[in-house]
Amino acid sequence: MAAPHNPSLTVGRIAEICGGRLVAGERLAGRVVRRVAAIDAAGEDALTWCAEQRLAAKIAESRAVAIIGSEDVVGADERGIVVEDPELAIAQVLDAFFSPPQPPALGAHPTAVIHPTARLGTETAIGAYAVIGEGVVLGDGAVIHEGVSLGKEVLIGEATIIYDRCVIYDRCRIGKGVIIHAGAVIGADSFGYIFRDGRHRKLSHLGTVVIEDEVEIGANTCIDRAKLGATRIGRGTKIDDLVMIAHNVQFGPMCIVTAQCGIAGSTKVGAGVTMGGQSGISHGITMGDGARIAAKATLFKDVPAGGAVSGMPAQDHRTELRDRARVRKLPQLLERVAALEKRVAELENSADH
């Protein structure tokens, strides 16, 4: 793992970064922090945090030099850095310690293949063996890592980062500030066939993919092009690794899609929707704004705005929980039924029944 670009920070500097108050005042401000660690793994050179009351019991056992948390959790510990929002505070501190992957040098690597009609913005960086196709437009500050392939007339927005060996097919549109991690494929044909004359006849996909601003796409995720029109990923949506998004899917802004989800064609996903890991959505389904689908759930019918579903097939989450509770009682119920059957048989065989 690459060394952090800030190998050490003082406790006082960390408090400044996250807007925290030092419980011990200046007495601990000069202590050096060299790493961030979980509460039960932190040594005397480490900072840790406690964002949940249920973990507060572990604070006394932690050897951390400083602990970020809310007033009610760390306010009585002299190592405490008191903040209003511990999760935001630790995110800010992690940013300070984070060392991003080394980008290519500004300009184009000598081994990159760039079509003469491509237009490159200012301060762009293109890594080794990247291929930039005909009519491609790179916005200012775009970073194209090693081995990336950009097809004909791809548009890449300002400050977008595309990591190693991604493939973006012809005519796809990528917005500003987008991050696409290694191995992702954007704009491949979707899985479209009809069965005719004893064979599967392929359907041409004439559409494209539009990735709006500030989207992040995980490693080895695939987003297929539309049959007609555009497959669209809304602004600020975050997609995990190994996700499959089929043709003409429409994602609203600010959605969360975790690993190994599968979304079938023509699905409409509203704003702020959350999808748990390995969940799936059938063809043509609509999820309203703010809807949630639990991990491993399989959705075959629409979900209203604000709805929460789980199970396979997915249903209202509270109904699913009740059904699971009933299922867990089945062994006891079967024992009771067997006992009743035995009693009935005894009564029927009795001479005095």
According to DSSP, residue 4 is labeled P
CA distance 288 to 236: 17
| Orientation of helix 330-349 relative to helix 317-328, angle to 10° | 50
Token pair recorded at residue 291? 């809807």
Furthest-apart CA pair in the chain: how many Å? 102
| CATH code of the domain in which 35 resides | 3.40.1390.10
Whether 3 maps to a domain, the answer reads no
Query: Which pLDDT value is given to residue 346?
Result: 82
Say yes or no: 192 and 275 in one domain.
Answer: yes
Same domain, 291 and 330: no
User: Which pair of structure tokens corresponds to residue 225?
Assistant: 């092009």
Report pLDDT for 4. Answer: 43
Pair (234, 274) in one structural domain:
yes
pLDDT profile of the chain (353 residues), mean per 10: 61 95 91 92 92 83 93 92 95 92 94 98 98 98 98 98 98 98 97 95 96 98 97 98 98 98 97 97 96 94 94 78 79 87 85 63
Whether residue 265 sits in one domain with residue 131: yes
Same-domain check for residues 283 and 339 = no
Is residue 143 included in any domain, yes or no?
Answer: yes
What is the domain count for the chain?
A: 3
Which of helix, strand or coil describes residue 283? coil
Tell me: do 78 and 218 sit in the same domain: no
Residue 23 backbone dihedrals phi, psi, to 5 degrees: -60, -40
**What's residue 307's pLDDT?**
95
- Shared domain for 188 and 241, answered yes or no, is yes
Q: Please indicate, yes or no, if residue 139 is contained in any of the structural domains.
A: yes
The verdict on 84 and 181 lying in the same domain is no
User: Are 68 and 45 part of one and the same domain?
Assistant: yes
Query: Per the domain annotation, does 250 fall within a domain?
Result: yes
Q: Identify the pLDDT of residue 5.
A: 52
Q: How far apart are alpha carbons 9 and 15 in whole angstroms? A: 10
- Give me the domain span that covers residue 84: 9-97
**C-alpha dist (Å) from residue 214 to 88, 95, 105, 236, 254:** 19, 17, 23, 5, 9
- The answer to whether residues 112 and 220 belong to one domain is yes
The answer to the question of residue 190 being in a domain is yes
**Domain contains 223:** yes
On whether both 49 and 150 belong to a single domain, the answer is: no
The one catalytic residue among 205, 247, 283, 317:
247
Residue 17: inside a domain, yes or no? yes
- What confidence score (pLDDT) does residue 353 get? 53
In a shared domain, residues 179 and 122: yes
Q: Is 180 exposed, middle or buried (0-12, 13-18, 19+ CB in 10 A)?
A: buried
Among 251, 149, 153, 248, residue whose Cα is nearest residue 203: 248
Predicted confidence at residue 311, as pLDDT, reads: 87
1 within some domain? no
104-121 per-position pLDDT tens digit? 999 999 999 999 999 999
Structure tokens at 343: 């009693």
CATH number of the domain encompassing residue 117: 2.160.10.10
Please confirm, yes or no, whether 247 is among the known catalytic residues.
Answer: yes
